[in-house]
Structure 1
Amino acid sequence: MVKQRYIQALFEEYMEIFPAVGIVGPRQVGKTTLVKNLSWGKNKIYLDLEKASDRAKLSDVELFFTNHQDSTVILDEIQLMPELFEELRSSIDEDRRPGRFILLGSASPDLIRSSADSLAGRIGYIELTPFTMKEILIEEMERLWMRGGYPLSFLASTERVSNLWRENFIKTYIERDLGLLGLNTDPKLVERFWMMLAHVQGSLWNGDNFARALGVTRPTVSRYLEFLEGSFMVRILQPYHRNVKKRLVKSPKVYIRDTGLLHALAGVKSYDELINQLLIGASWETFVIEQVINLLGSDYQYYFYRTHQGAECDLLLVKSGKVEWAIEIKNTLSPKISKGFLISMEDTKAANGAVISRVKEGYPLKGGVRNYSLLEFCEDIKKKYNETEGN
């Protein structure tokens, strides 16, 4: 079963604009399937840079690009050959027709250091995430939360198959993929690090604690975190501090982005097990944050807010320097607004306040705040954004 991906239209638009289009995202998220199903008029030449036979075809890169100038050349796992970026730049500068190259990568452009400078102004990047709410049926949302959005996990025939896939994905990622990205270290240490992150999901980052527990240095754990973020496994949410004259928490929060992987790392194999775990609150918070950010993308900037006096807000949506939404996330059917949340709205001068909980239908709360279901909030905010853009 192949689902239509939400970036399909944007991808095809980019192919009409940029000489090179980069699709980045974690492994096994469907990048290769997306480009192979591309309805693009040119011939397509596909090279998998994990294969020695395909890498050998690029022994003379300039000649290869010249011989296939009228085709769209797809380079999969481009992070394995970052030296190609200089040749790509030269080839594009000689012929800037759109749609000449598609680069697929399992690491962010920042992690593929050389691409940022070499292809500046010549490439448009798009991130392909695991499945989101936009790509599933309403009745599948609980499954998306439990299994996560990786296609082979979400679409698995049974819970056992989904669990086995995620467990093996994690094992392969730790033992092989991180090394291919350049993190050459003991896989057992990285596995412990990742499991420790799962058990403090959504907490403030304390690198010193991690370093002591693992018996390594603070720079080492910071490097682990950098690679997990750069390969789309981890989200680092920064604290909001603009124009607030209070003692604020300065450490970021860290989340394992996909809740299916989070549950696998924590040993949670079913929804019935999840509801009896302390992890459930952090898991729901993660799920909501990822769905909101994936829906809105670069339309907003994203932060959390916390003071040493106890004012706290799980997610701030900031646009043009102004806090448009302050959001509290509650894993309950009958949420109550905390005093700390109302103070955070006042501190940040938030234009709107929302609680996103497990309810099916929203209703107003005190202080102009509304209690939303996740689906209702996503639909409401997108509607308001479209109305604003239309004026």
Structure 2
Amino acid sequence: MYIHRRIATELLRLIDQFPVVGIIGPRQVGKTTLARHLMENMNKECIYLDLELPEDQSKLYEPQLYLEQHSEKCIILDEIQQIPELFPVIRGLVDKHRVAGRYIVLGSASPALLRQSSETLAGRIVYKELAPFNLVEIAENYDMTQHWFRGGFPEAFLAMNEEFLRTWTRNFIQTYLERDLPVFGLTVNPILMRKMWTMMAHFHGGIWNASSFSKSLGITVPTVNRYIEFLEAAFIVNRLQPFHLNLKKRLVKSPKIYLRDTGILHYLAGITSFENLQGNVLLGNSWEGYAIEQIKQVLPGEIEAYYYRTHNGTESDLVLARGNIALACIEIKYTASPKPSKGFQIAIEDLKTPANFIITPKSETYPVASNIVVCNLADFLTSHLDAIMRM
């Protein structure tokens, strides 16, 4: 069964406006499935080429000749990082015949690829990230706990049993470390990177401390920071930055680190079932990271996500802001009877946010204080977030 992706409508609009549309994201996130869905809903004939297949690669032996033959069609180039030299060819053909919807390029997350294509196709291409399934995409037909525990990669989320889930996740991590990282331009020992990923799983939701990782891994602090920046650009890690105002308070100024997909998090942490997660010390941080990722995925471009913390314990797990104006403070709790902490209430006073929430897995919506509302994550995503975006 095809699960509708929330960015599909926007992608169709962009295809009608730009000569080249790029869909980026990690491997096996569903880019090919989405592209085939778009083909069925476009008003022009499409040609799909998988650049990992020798048969399709051979069609582009003389790329300019082949692409010019199909100048009135939309050419979909999947795994374009396999032939990066196509970018200047596409630029030349677009400049000769600039019409919307000429090319859709699909690329697994590669920072070098994105830089190269952005420079070559500047002004001609627009990018959209396809993230793993978001809760709003699956909530109608699936249970949230399945999504939280398994993560949002389609094959993992829809796995027929736990054995297949573990096999898929193990192979995804192994392929990424041994095959994808070198292709993406990061030369690193796979064993070292696997150790770093495992450390990040146990550090999930913590304040980033490069020195600690440097000592444990036996590499320099600049190298650790380079690896984490690469993993963030490759959509594996989320660095949640602190929110700063000119307050006379000692603020924590280092980012918090989360693995973006909780299925990968749980596998690396050795958590083999949802029941096992309930008794694990990572439970609260896993829920926090899951909620933050679901919210960040659906935020419009003008609203950024941060956290807020002072050295005396004042904290908001998530701050939504437009520019330097904080719109909402959010506390994320895994509990059935949430109460606002003193630190959260002080954070609200500091930032003077007009909307404030405590998000739990299954609570009904109700005010817990004059300026704080309790709600579950699904209700926040589908109802309350729209009100914040209109502020």
Give TM-score, length-normalised by structure 2: 0.94
In the alignment, is the contact (CA less than 8 A) between 2:112 and 2:185 conserved in 1?
no
- Distance between the aligned counterparts of 1:383 and 1:223, measured in 2? 36
**CA deviation string 1:349-383 (max 9, x = no partner):** 21221111233312211251111111122223244
In the alignment, is the contact (CA less than 8 A) between 1:362 and 1:372 conserved in 2?
yes
In the alignment, is the contact (CA less than 8 A) between 1:234 and 1:255 conserved in 2?
yes
Match of 1:327 in 2: 330
Match of 2:185 in 1: 182
Match of 2:126 in 1: 124
Match of 2:19 in 1: 19
Match of 1:30 in 2: 30
Match of 2:4 in 1: 4
Are 1:201 and 2:204 counterparts?
yes
- Distance between the aligned counterparts of 2:370 and 2:311, measured in 1? 23
**CA deviation string 1:278-313 (max 9, x = no partner):** 011111001110111112242411110111121111
SS in 1 for 2:249: coil
SS in 2 for 1:327: strand
Opposite residue 97 of structure 1, the aligned amino acid is V
Match of 1:55 in 2: 57
Match of 1:308 in 2: 311
**CA deviation string 1:164-187 (max 9, x = no partner):** 211211111111111111112110
- Distance between the aligned counterparts of 1:254 and 1:81, measured in 2? 33
SS in 1 for 2:81: helix
- Distance between the aligned counterparts of 2:236 and 2:185, measured in 1? 15
Q: 1:244 pairs with 228, 243, 247, which one?
A: 247
In the alignment, is the contact (CA less than 8 A) between 2:239 and 2:258 conserved in 1?
yes
Opposite residue 45 of structure 1, the aligned amino acid is I
Deviation at 1:19, TM superposition (A): 0.5
Off by >6 Å, runs of 4+ in structure 1: none
Comparing 119-128 and 43-52, the one that deviates more: 43-52
Deviation at 1:86, TM superposition (A): 1.9
- Distance between the aligned counterparts of 1:185 and 1:247, measured in 2? 37
In 2 relative to 1, CA 108–305 (structure 1 residues): closer, same or farther, beyond 3 Å?
A: farther
Structure 2's unaligned 5+ residue stretches are none
SS in 1 for 2:375: strand
Equivalences for residues 154-169 of structure 1 within 5 A: 154-169=157-172
SS in 2 for 1:232: coil
Pairwise CA RMSD of aligned residues? Answer: 1.8
**CA deviation string 1:77-98 (max 9, x = no partner):** 2233333222222211111111
Deviation at 1:108, TM superposition (A): 5.8
Equivalences for residues 362-373 of structure 1 within 5 A: 362-373=365-376
Match of 1:65 in 2: 67
**Residue identity (%):** 47
**CA deviation string 1:41-88 (max 9, x = no partner):** 333222223334433433333222212212211111223333322222
How many residues get paired?
388
- Distance between the aligned counterparts of 1:309 and 1:244, measured in 2? 14
Equivalences for residues 250-329 of structure 1 within 5 A: 250-329=253-332
Structure 1's unaligned 5+ residue stretches are none
- Distance between the aligned counterparts of 1:20 and 1:258, measured in 2? 29
- Distance between the aligned counterparts of 1:311 and 1:50, measured in 2? 51
In the alignment, is the contact (CA less than 8 A) between 2:304 and 2:321 conserved in 1?
yes
Deviation at 1:156, TM superposition (A): 1.1
SS in 2 for 1:98: coil
- Distance between the aligned counterparts of 2:288 and 2:381, measured in 1? 15
Deviation at 1:220, TM superposition (A): 1.7
SS in 1 for 2:66: helix
In 2 relative to 1, CA 67–96 (structure 1 residues): closer, same or farther, beyond 3 Å?
A: same
Give TM-score, length-normalised by structure 1: 0.94
- Distance between the aligned counterparts of 1:243 and 1:67, measured in 2? 59
Opposite residue 30 of structure 2, the aligned amino acid is G
- Distance between the aligned counterparts of 1:23 and 1:80, measured in 2? 15
- Distance between the aligned counterparts of 1:376 and 1:43, measured in 2? 40
In the alignment, is the contact (CA less than 8 A) between 1:29 and 1:128 conserved in 2?
yes
- Distance between the aligned counterparts of 2:202 and 2:78, measured in 1? 34
- Distance between the aligned counterparts of 2:264 and 2:303, measured in 1? 26
- Distance between the aligned counterparts of 1:98 and 1:268, measured in 2? 47
In the alignment, is the contact (CA less than 8 A) between 1:239 and 1:306 conserved in 2?
yes
